[in-house]
Amino acid sequence: MKLAGFRFLLFAVVLLVADVAVGFAAGASAPVEGYRVVHAYPHDGSAFTQGLVMIDGMLYEGTGLNGRSSVRAVDLATGRVLQSVKVPDRYFGEGLTDWGSNLIELTWLAHRGFVYDRFSMRLVKTFEYKGEGWGLTHDRQNLIMSDGTPVLRFLDPVTFKVVRTLAVSDGGKPVKELNELEYIHGEIYANVWQTDRIARISPVTGEVIAWIDLSGLLGNEPRDGNAVLNGIAYDQKNDRLFVTGKLWPKLFEIKLVPETSASK
């Protein structure tokens, strides 16, 4: 073989190897993290948890189901409901977050959201949006909303108009059924409905940075088909992460650990 031909063949092999490496990288799934339980707290086992927020040491929870939806202020240590407002029976309560001194709640199919004063639980106003309402959180500028699709919506917190959208994927594959949301350390944490996993999502690229596998968290507690993982709250002041689920009798404070050293 002539030297020029050999060089061309070598160059072609290098390009092929590079293409394969890029292909593997593009299709690679995000790493998986495990957890360690720090503490288990009592939780209302009749609460169909849809949204969870920790503000200044107070836990706020939005619950769902028509006729049973509410927004509550809950004592973390005891699980006791300190204050609540009932959502009208025709609405199915969904995601919950805070903005300033208010709490903002979505509903599932009614295309209507509610704004409450956080201290009095008084209804301040309502707003409209298109599509389904699932989860809700916020960064420093916008509300962030899920609707069960792989696309998150960023909303202006005053007008509730869509500012931008973010397609979420893992290794190039869309991640569907994104549900309850929380914004933590510059990332979007999202429950994936009917799974025991939480996705940590880049708010810039939409790529899943890592998965949190919470399998076995509730242990042998009895669960029906609706009692799925759903509820993420972050205590920013004390750097504490809390998770629970629909109809779960417990709420857990957890620490994230590499999957190989996870202790359940």
Do 106 and 12 fall within a single domain?
Answer: no
Do 179 and 83 fall within a single domain?
Answer: yes
Do 22 and 50 fall within a single domain?
Answer: no
pLDDT tens-digit map of 35-80:
999 999 999 999 999 999 999 999 999 999 999 999 999 999 999 9
Q: Which sign, positive or negative, has the C-alpha torsion 99, 104, 108, 110?
A: negative
Q: Write down how long the chain is.
A: 264
Do 12 and 92 fall within a single domain?
Answer: no
Cβ-based neighbours of 91, under 8 Å, separated by 6 or more: 66, 69, 107, 108, 110, 112
Do 45 and 87 fall within a single domain?
Answer: yes
Residue 262 has pLDDT above 90, yes or no: no
Residue 12 has pLDDT above 90, yes or no: no
Cβ-based neighbours of 125, under 8 Å, separated by 6 or more: 114, 115
Average pLDDT over residues 4-19: 38
Residue 145 has pLDDT above 50, yes or no: yes
Structure token pair of residue 118: 């956080």
Do 62 and 4 fall within a single domain?
Answer: no
Average pLDDT over residues 221-245: 91
φ, ψ dihedrals at 137, nearest 5°: -150, -165
> What is the structure's pLDDT at 239?
96
Do 81 and 11 fall within a single domain?
Answer: no
φ, ψ dihedrals at 176, nearest 5°: -90, 170
Do 124 and 66 fall within a single domain?
Answer: yes
Least-confidence region, from 4-18, 86-100, 103-117, 154-168 = 4-18
Average pLDDT over residues 107-136: 97
Q: What percent of the chain has pLDDT over 70?
A: 87
Least-confidence region, from 11-25, 36-50, 61-75, 166-180 = 11-25
- Report the run of H or E that residue 162 belongs to, with start and end: strand 162-167
Least-confidence region, from 53-62, 85-94, 199-208, 255-264 = 255-264
Average pLDDT, the chain: 89
- Domains: count for the chain: 2
Residue 26 has pLDDT above 60, yes or no: no
Q: Which domain holds residue 216?
A: 31-261
Do 21 and 143 fall within a single domain?
Answer: no
Cβ-based neighbours of 22, under 8 Å, separated by 6 or more: none
> What is the structure's pLDDT at 63?
98
Least-confidence region, from 7-11, 205-209, 221-225, 228-232 = 7-11
- Report the run of H or E that residue 226 belongs to, with start and end: none
Residue 3 has pLDDT above 70, yes or no: no
Residue 223 has pLDDT above 80, yes or no: no
Structure token pair of residue 62: 């939005």
Residue 231 has pLDDT above 60, yes or no: yes
Question: How many C-beta neighbours within 10 Å does residue 140 have?
Answer: 6
Is there a contact between 243 and 251 (Cβ–Cβ < 8 Å)?
yes
> What is the structure's pLDDT at 28?
66
Helix spans in the chain (H): 3-27
Cβ-based neighbours of 162, under 8 Å, separated by 6 or more: 153, 154, 155
- Report the run of H or E that residue 117 belongs to, with start and end: strand 112-117
Q: What is the CATH number of the domain that holds 106?
A: 2.120.10.30
Do 2 and 64 fall within a single domain?
Answer: no
Question: How many C-beta neighbours within 10 Å does residue 120 have?
Answer: 11
